[in-house]
Structure 1
Amino acid sequence: MSSSVSDKQNTPKRFLIWFKNFCIAQWFFITLAIFIVIARFAPNFARHGGLIRAEYSIGYGAVAVIFLQSGLSMGTKELMKNMGHWRAHLTIIVISFLITSAIMFGLATAIKSANDPHIDKYVLLGLLVTCTCPTTVSSNVVMTGNANGNKVLCLTEVMIGNILGAFISPAILQMYTSASGWEFGNPASETSIQHLYGEVMKQLGLSVFVPVFVGQIIQNLFPKQTKKFLTVTKFNKVGSFCLILVMFSSFSTAFYQKAFTSVPKASIIFLVFFNIGIYLLFTLICFIMARPYPLNFIFGNEPNENSSFIYKWSYKIFKPFYYNRADTITVMFCGAAKTAALGVSLVSSQYGDDYEYLGRLLAALVLYQSEQVITAQVLVNIFKKWEKLDHPELIAQGKNDEETGKIDSGDQSISSDNVENNYDNNAEDEKK
């Protein structure tokens, strides 16, 4: 009897403990949901041009904090090394600008040809605009770091991709909207490209280049103090919160522009499920291109003195295109992600802030951005476990920590900042 009474008394306590642990583990999604609700009922607060001038306070300030953390945590030599990782740059550029946009153009054209009255053609145009954009500025850097990917390489991809995107994205959009059946969405605005390039360079300069440069200076002048600061404050969590603020601003702008109310409900439902599916498809394509099995099969053995001249040079040229796990995670996050920062600038520059269908274009862009972050957050734990296979010593250490109870339930991951400098970007050392 006493045991039964004791169990009943402990039930509320157990529930509170479970609820607390659940909130700690899922704080990202809970906080994001709260901010989306705020954006719905008070869109003027954090929209572009709104009360807090979010295009500056969040678009520059919050993003700058994310890249300041990157500058403080990454080694200068590692940064310079990854700047020269031209194979990864080439792979991500091809995926980001050509493959993803071509796939989306084919799918959008097929869907539009079905003449379904429930699917708005401007929503499809919004998807096409989204997929012509380069990789996102902030979210993939945060996710790559959380998944123990090569965050240094990810940072370089953000810089290269968005600089090129200012030129390439408008040209690709013009090409696709010049095709038969898409003339209604052709902005035909050549004068907007110069304005777009100026906006992108200002965004990258103030929110990416300057914070990284400042972080590198502080890190090299005060290495011990910097390391202690990052460890004590868990500054990487601040980056995740800043990412939520970026999404908060995007949703506020979309709600203010009546992006979700001006689009048929069937189109919104279609977007929600379609975006998740297309993001997972893009991620799979990125994985296949980052670790092509035929390449690893053909060049499975390192050249030796008995190897032919052709095999030695072919191995040297092509084998490094089979990336290690850390670089592959970077490719998957960067190749599949699309930036809302450049996307909003692209839409407003080419179509105008008073464009009649601006809300419908933004609906596709904002929903894709939010869903790619949510989906990527789920994939982080999967990628992290997969990447650890390259580091058996960390797996053994993790098991020992679990046995001795040293792992903190609030943060059970091995920080990417502690292992990223151990990554070997030379794929010749990659094992099958």
Structure 2
Amino acid sequence: MIRVPRPSLDGFTIALVATVGLATVLPVRGGAAEAVHWLAEAAIALLFFLHGARLPREEVVAGLGHWRLHLLIFSLTFAAFPLIGWLVVETLPESLLPPALSIGVQFLCLLPSTVQSSIAFTSMARGNVAAAVCSSTLSNIAGILMTPLLVALFLKVQGGALSLDSLQTIAAQLLLPFVLGQLLRRWVGAWAARHKTMLKFTDRSSILLVVYIAFSEAVVNGLWHQVPPTALAMVVLVDCVILAVFLGGTMLLSRRLGFSRADETVIVFCGSKKSLVSGVPMAGVLFAPATAGLVLLPVMVFHQIQLMVGAVLARRYADDVAARDALPAAS
């Protein structure tokens, strides 16, 4: 009998909820908000620098040859997801999903894939980890340019078209530190690899800081008066449906296209996930402060759902492999 682990809230999700609660009760304002904003930008820059410093170039080169897999995941992330998001937003009336939350759902669908959880779940499922590292990393690098361009195509940001200043800000906050980390990897790569806890701390603290800033501004502008319980329930339902569509779709496509089981796990976990790490700082740049908190709600909800479902699915993949490996011994 296969034991399916029970999904549960992780510590980071609890911290996210606590941060939203703190912003609701004690929103940051004025000069303090500027100081926290500067601290968040510094933390995000450090985060992407450490990602660049830790990623071995050899793994990227080795994974690049699997072009069919990467092309499929890229198409799912930056073509299929945006179209599904657009279809959902166009279908649901404003009475069920207010405009700001509709923008959040669409923005969610325009983000790149995750890095850490995609790789972790692929490893847990005993899949092709090298391909997962390469695909998720390429998705995040491409997302620095693709997400703002897709936002300009599907959404109106800050009352108009995407500005060059927004692209420059995103490049300065995300791409430049990552490239700098890669360039300095020869000298700092080993140190960064030994201090994984620092990367984890920087990852989570930078997200919490930006979430606190975004929700503080939103609370000052009456966030919870704009989001009735029915709208929150609809966000949860929409996120669940979108994730279910892509989990089922990635499984079906990978099998129909003849990918191995190890590659299937990469396609499932990299092709169905969306990055909160990339989404939070981009939302702060692309959207007005008064709406950034609302826009981030669907992203935060999707983040928790994909972690819970991913953990269960990865364990079932691993149990399936263990069962197959045990067959010759049993016979």
TM-score by length of 2: 0.73
Runs of 5+ unmatched residues, structure 1? 1-24, 175-184, 297-318, 397-432
Q: Displacement of 1:50 after TM fit?
A: 1.6
Matches within 5 A, 1:318-333: 323-326=263-266, 328-333=268-273
Structure 1 counterpart of 2:73, from 92, 101, 116: 92
Greater displacement, 101-110 / 158-167:
101-110
Pairing of 1:282-293 with structure 2 (within 5 A): 282-289=246-253, 291=254, 293=255
Choose from 168, 171, 184 the match for 1:201. Answer: 171
Q: State percent identity of aligned pairs.
A: 14
Selected match of 2:256 from 294, 299, 313: 294
Query: Aligned residue for 1:52?
Result: 35
- Tell me the distance in 1 between the aligned counterparts of 2:242 and 2:17: 23
Residue aligned with 1:43, SS: coil
Given that residues 72 and 215 in structure 1 are in contact (C-alpha distance below 8 angstroms), is that contact kept between their aligned partners in structure 2?
yes
* Greater RCO structure (CA 8 Å; 6+ sep): 2
Q: Distance in 2 between matches of 1:159 and 1:65?
A: 16
Alignment of 1:142-153 (within 5 A): 142-147=116-121, 148=123, 150-153=132-135
Aligned to 1:406: none
More helix by share: 2
Secondary structure of 2:112's counterpart equals coil
Q: How does 1:170-185 map to 2 (within 5 A)?
A: 170-173=152-155
> In structure 2, do the counterparts of structure 1 residues 157 and 105 end up closer, same or farther at CA, with 3 Å as the change threshold?
closer
Q: How many residues align?
A: 309
CA RMSD of aligned residues (A): 4.1
- 1:130 is aligned to 2:107: yes
**Inter-CA distance 284–258: structure 2 relative to 1 (3 Å threshold):** farther
TM superposition shift of 1:128: 5.6
Q: Which residue of 1 aligns with 2:204?
A: 241
What's the CA shift for 1:332? 2.5
The question of whether the paired residues in 1 share the 8 Å contact of 2:136 and 2:270 is answered with yes
Match 1:80 to one of 20, 41, 61: 61
| SS of residue matched to 2:111 | coil
Offset at 1:212?
4.4
Structure 2 residues not aligned, in runs of 5+: 1-8, 124-128, 327-331
Which structure would you say has the larger Rg? 1
Partner of residue 18, structure 2: 34
Instruction: Please tell me the residue identity of whatever aligns with 1:101.
Output: P
Partner letter of residue 241 of structure 1? R
For residues 54 and 277 of structure 2, the distance between their equivalents in structure 1, rounded to whole angstroms, comes to 23
Cα shift at 1:78? 0.6
In the TM superposition, what are the counterparts of 1:267-416 in structure 2 within 5 Å? Answer: 267-289=231-253, 291=254, 293-296=255-258, 323-326=263-266, 328-334=268-274, 339-348=279-288, 359=291, 362-363=293-294, 365-386=295-316, 388=318
Any runs of at least 4 consecutive aligned residues in structure 1 with deviations exceeding 6 A, and if so which? 335-338, 389-392
The normalised TM-score by structure 1 is: 0.58
TM-aligned CA deviation for residue 370 of structure 1: 1.0
CA deviation profile, 1:70-126 (whole Å, cap 9, x unmatched): 3454322112334565434433332233322322332333322xxx7x435424642
The offset of 1:34, in angstroms, is 2.4
- Name the SS for the 1:261 alignment partner: helix
Counterpart contact for 2:251–2:264, Cα < 8 Å: no
**Superposition map of 1:88-127 within 5 A:** 88-112=69-93, 118-119=95-96, 121-123=98-100, 125-127=102-104
> Comparing 328-337 with 365-374, which one deviates more in the overlay?
328-337
The CA distance in 2 between the partners of 1:295 and 1:332, in whole Å, is 17
Secondary structure class of the residue paired with 2:75: helix
